Structure 1
């Protein structure tokens, strides 16, 4: 058996002003030896696929792995170059199984559905009898082109995305069983007509829903269940939540179970939807408390959703209130990082921070700071996978601690602070530029975690997102999108 593995992924915030070009991939991952390098969120599946195939004595061909930090629309020629390189390998090797790690919400100039486009071209090369398997992030736009071209689509179940290696192992087994004639997978999806960001690791209905999906798999012919959470910050016709079921040879059963779980999700919607408090009310609560260890999420400036990661709204209010023992991470400012590395640890500087990328970044802030820490080649862990941070810098401005990075990335882990020498146990509040990927790592050290409705390119109120390519018939934008 011959297996070809590849990866091509970025999450496209179509409202982000940051273009995704070749340099964006080069600074994250652009390689043909991904399985010989430390795994990240999107390359970890390739590592698992190689290991599992080689354990069976199968031939493995490793193609391109190209991954970029979420940002704006991908440059057309860059997408086409990477896509065509992978397809060239598919054409040259004609594998029995083609497995690819993608995001599911990649948009390039001229291509609203990069995943569907890539898979459709691969299917044209391979014909109907070879197996194509796709692993994607749940914040995707599940399209008909993807469903038509792939035999199997498996999505991460957890948000935070700590389970990409687990899902990779599941996908490999399903693909191998398909290639060996043990199963005949058929996929059907159900339009939930909802749009929510749905964390799954906290106790509650979202976590219970994921547990129910896992318990149903492997029973009564159901091979796999996935939930597309939606990525609300990508403007496409298919933006929205969808339930996906894979059944063994029974399309009607797949459709029925997808609808069953989709309707179950609809019934849970009010318990899943979170209304976040505004920034000012959150800081009032922190200041009024005698406790420390508050972890506050700057939701709307999450680099992991394509935001600039240089907004100053939270920092500005912290400074205006005269708050102390507050730590904030991670500000993307490669120029300032370079200036700090030039002067070194211990230096006092007058700096201008943030507010550089767009109007949603707020105004730049001028501060007198001391450089407290510098470290190169930093990595944060997200579950089993490492996420590069580049050079990190710790600045202090009279009891306010600010973490910078040379690479644009969200704050996944307390190590973004502690690896630079900052003791978080002394902090009244820790502010993370992240929507939810931070949760699993910070929960053990937090007195309380609060997601804030901050300004930025990713508003927590999804009804504020202005779409041009999809209609407004989704909850919570309308009370009953099934009315007609």
Structure 2
């Protein structure tokens, strides 16, 4: 069985001022170094699942060039077309193949391509023809578009947010692709539009039970896979929205009915799926009054995982104004401030201007007196998504500003996991911990937190969707439209 695979995609925030250029796309796996084996990209688990499967049965795996970028603004036309054409060139060279198994995000919007990943899948189908199996693993924050489902045989979206199940879904994709290629199953997709867009946090009820129900249904009546495609509210496109996807073994009418049933169940719990978002002052009031600690505050609107810059100063400025101490914040994306601190070295005291550099959504820069506590060459953020996987942070510096410790980073990342411990900071001993993330932090921080608060601050990934100025999204999307 000959299988072509590649990693390709990004999550596009069309309201972000930061373009996604070609140099931001990381490869499918990181090169081996110092005797270590290859390290897989967090979203590159399809390749890992294929290699695992190849240990127990003969598979000829051909890895194509691709790339994966951190969430950002519109992908440039040059970046998309260059990367697409490289991948397609590798596919043509690999032909003939039995299966194309791709790892994608699903919310990539490029200049001239509203559904870039759907466009690529259509190009792949044009090369391999109608009989080759095309399977794709996607982020549940992607778009379930017509180009995707008309040209792929199998689409598997993550079930969990935080994304704890990327490898599990990759294994599921590989298994279904192999069974389809061997004519053991005949997957058919049933799709129902839910007419909503929301942030469904699956570690909390009622979504926890909804995800478990999807999994239970997958083992019955020739149901092969069920996905709840959340969608991505900050990607303005004509196919934005939450959708239910059911894949059955040749039972289209059954799949249609089950997708509609799950859509109705999801709509029934929709009001309880949102976290309670507090304004900055209310969140700080609650955190400072709490008799137990640490209180974790999620600076949701400055989540780089949603395309924000990662350098907003709104929460930090409010904390400094109140004289809050025994607190920490991270990751704070400010390469210039980091370089100055790194050059000065641990123990240095210096005036520093931090944050507020990318757009009005980042707030005003702050002029502070900083003490450099630690300079780390390239620490790993620990236990990303709560999955046991770590991810490199690039250079990081820990500084103290009037009793608030800040982790400055040179790579634009969100708090996927514990970013404080690698720079020598025991965040559990602090009263207030601010993480720049929307939900991926939850698995790493919530178990040790006295309480988690979600902050509705200004920023590039604001939860105030009605004010975003959409131009292309469908109408009748709850809760934006009544």
Identify the TM-score tier after normalising by the shorter chain.
over 0.9
Deviation at 1:76, TM superposition (A): 0.9
Where has structure 1 moved over 4 Å in runs of 4 or more? 30-36
Please state if 1:287 is matched with 2:288: yes
Please state if 1:424 is matched with 2:422: no
Contact 2:29 2:44 in 1 (8 A): no
Contact 1:301 1:457 in 2 (8 A): yes
CA offsets 1:327-358 (integer angstroms, 9 cap, x no match): 00011111111111111111111100000000
Contact 1:105 1:141 in 2 (8 A): yes
Task: Label 1:33 to 1:9 Cα distance change in 2 as closer, same or farther (>3 A).
Answer: farther
1:190 aligned partner: 192
Task: Label 1:36 to 1:120 Cα distance change in 2 as closer, same or farther (>3 A).
Answer: farther
Question: What are structure 1's unaligned runs of at least 5 residues?
Answer: 480-484
Contact 2:15 2:468 in 1 (8 A): no
Task: Label 1:379 to 1:313 Cα distance change in 2 as closer, same or farther (>3 A).
Answer: same
Deviation at 1:377, TM superposition (A): 1.8
Contact 1:139 1:230 in 2 (8 A): yes
- The 5 A counterparts of 1:69-468 are 69-94=70-95, 95-202=97-204, 204-380=205-381, 381-382=383-384, 383-414=387-418, 416-468=419-471
Task: Label 1:376 to 1:33 Cα distance change in 2 as closer, same or farther (>3 A).
Answer: closer
Task: Label 1:62 to 1:457 Cα distance change in 2 as closer, same or farther (>3 A).
Answer: same
Contact 1:196 1:462 in 2 (8 A): no
Deviation at 1:234, TM superposition (A): 0.3
Secondary structure of the equivalent of 2:199?
coil
Deviation at 1:31, TM superposition (A): 6.0
Query: RMSD in angstroms over aligned alpha carbons?
Result: 1.5
Secondary structure of the equivalent of 1:125?
helix
- Give, in whole Å, the separation in 1 of the partners of 2:287 and 2:252: 53
Contact 1:40 1:386 in 2 (8 A): no
Count matched residues.
475
- Give, in whole Å, the separation in 2 of the partners of 1:343 and 1:68: 31
CA offsets 1:283-317 (integer angstroms, 9 cap, x no match): 01112222220000000000001100000000000
- Give, in whole Å, the separation in 2 of the partners of 1:273 and 1:68: 27
- Give, in whole Å, the separation in 2 of the partners of 1:435 and 1:278: 15
Taking structure 2 as the reference length, the TM-score comes to 0.96
CA offsets 1:413-450 (integer angstroms, 9 cap, x no match): 22x11111112232110000000000001012101011
Question: What are structure 2's unaligned runs of at least 5 residues?
Answer: none
Deviation at 1:36, TM superposition (A): 5.3
2:20 aligned partner: 20
CA offsets 1:346-385 (integer angstroms, 9 cap, x no match): 1111100000000000000001011001112222232143
Please state if 1:29 is matched with 2:30: no
Secondary structure of the equivalent of 1:86?
helix
Contact 2:28 2:44 in 1 (8 A): no
